Structure 1
Amino acid sequence: MGYITDEQPLNYPIDNPTVLEPPTEWAELRQKCPVARVKLASGDEASLVTRYEDVKNVLADPRFTRPSAANEGARVSEDESGGVFNSEMATVLPQSGEGHRQWRRLLNRYFTAKRMAALRPRIEAMADQLIDGMLEQGHPADLKAGLAFPLPVWVICSILGVPDSDRDKFAYWSDTLLSMTRYTREEIGKAQAEFGAYLAGHVAAKRAEPGDDLLSELITYTDAEGQPLSDAILVATGQGLLVAGHETTANMIAKMMAMLLSDRSRWERLLEDRSLIRSATEEALRLDVNAGFGMLRYIDADFEVGDTVVPAGTTVVCSMAAANRDENAFERADEMDLARTPNPHLSFGAGAHSCLGQALARTELQVVLDVLLRRLPSLELAVPADELRRVEGLLVGGLRELPVAW
Structure 2
Amino acid sequence: MSEVDDLPRFPFPVDAALEPPAEWAELRSKCPVAHVKLASGDQAALITRHEDVRQILSDPRFTRPTPGDDSARVADSEDGGIFNSDMASVIPQHGEAHLVWRRGIGKWFTAKRMNALRPGIAAMAEQLIDDMVAKGTPADLKASLGFPLPVWVICDMLGVPDADRDRFSHWSDVMLSMTRFSTAEMKAAEQEFTRYMAGHVALKRANPGEDILSALITDPEPMSDATLIATGIGLLIAGHETTANMITKMVAMLLSDRSRWESLLADPSLVRTAVEESLRLDANAGIGMSRYITEDVEIAGTVLPRGTTAMCSMAAANRDEEAFARASEMDLARTPNQHLAFGAGAHACLGQPLARTELQVVLEVLLRKLPSLDLAVAVEDLRRVEGLVVGGLVELPVRW
Common fold: TM-score over 0.5: yes
Aligned to 1:351: 345
Unmatched segments (≥5 aa) in structure 1: none
Percent sequence identity over matched residues? 67
Aligned to 2:193: 195
Q: Does 1:234 align with 2:228?
A: yes
Residue 181 of structure 1: how far off its partner (Å): 3.7
Among 312, 325, 329, which residue is 1:331 paired with? 325
Residue 68 of structure 1: how far off its partner (Å): 3.1
Residue 6 of structure 1: how far off its partner (Å): 11
Aligned to 1:383: 377
Aligned to 1:128: 126
Residue 84 of structure 1: how far off its partner (Å): 1.9
CA RMSD of aligned residues (A): 1.8
Aligned to 2:398: 404
- Tell me, in whole angstroms, the C-alpha distance in 1 between the residues paired with 2:85 and 2:71: 16
Contact 1:67 1:297 in 2 (8 A): yes
Q: Does 1:312 align with 2:310?
A: no
- Tell me, in whole angstroms, the C-alpha distance in 1 between the residues paired with 2:269 and 2:311: 36
Amino acid at match of 1:242: L
Aligned to 2:219: 221
1:3-402 correspondence to structure 2 within 5 Å: 8-79=6-77, 83-223=81-221, 228-402=222-396
Query: TM-score, normalized by length of structure 2?
Result: 0.95
Which deviations, in whole Å up to 9, do the C-alpha atoms of 1:128-187 show, x marking residues without a partner?
Answer: 221122112111011111111121111111011113333333233222222334444443
Secondary structure in 1 matching 2:83: coil
Residue 192 of structure 1: how far off its partner (Å): 2.1
Residue 127 of structure 1: how far off its partner (Å): 1.2
Secondary structure in 2 matching 1:251: helix
- Count of aligned pairs: 398
Distance verdict in 2 for CA 1:139–1:47, change over 3 Å: same
Residue 229 of structure 1: how far off its partner (Å): 1.8
- Tell me, in whole angstroms, the C-alpha distance in 2 between the residues paired with 1:6 and 1:393: 20
- Tell me, in whole angstroms, the C-alpha distance in 1 between the residues paired with 2:207 and 2:146: 32
Contact 2:73 2:80 in 1 (8 A): no
89-98 or 249-258, which moves further after superposition? Answer: 89-98
- Tell me, in whole angstroms, the C-alpha distance in 1 between the residues paired with 2:303 and 2:82: 29
Amino acid at match of 1:172: H
Distance verdict in 2 for CA 1:8–1:139, change over 3 Å: same
Contact 2:250 2:275 in 1 (8 A): yes
Secondary structure in 2 matching 1:36: strand
237-246 or 50-59, which moves further after superposition? Answer: 237-246
- Tell me, in whole angstroms, the C-alpha distance in 1 between the residues paired with 2:275 and 2:9: 31
Contact 2:175 2:186 in 1 (8 A): yes
Query: TM-score, normalized by length of structure 1?
Result: 0.94
Contact 1:286 1:346 in 2 (8 A): yes
Distance verdict in 2 for CA 1:83–1:129, change over 3 Å: farther
Distance verdict in 2 for CA 1:42–1:182, change over 3 Å: closer
- Tell me, in whole angstroms, the C-alpha distance in 2 between the residues paired with 1:181 and 1:11: 13
- Tell me, in whole angstroms, the C-alpha distance in 2 between the residues paired with 1:37 and 1:79: 21
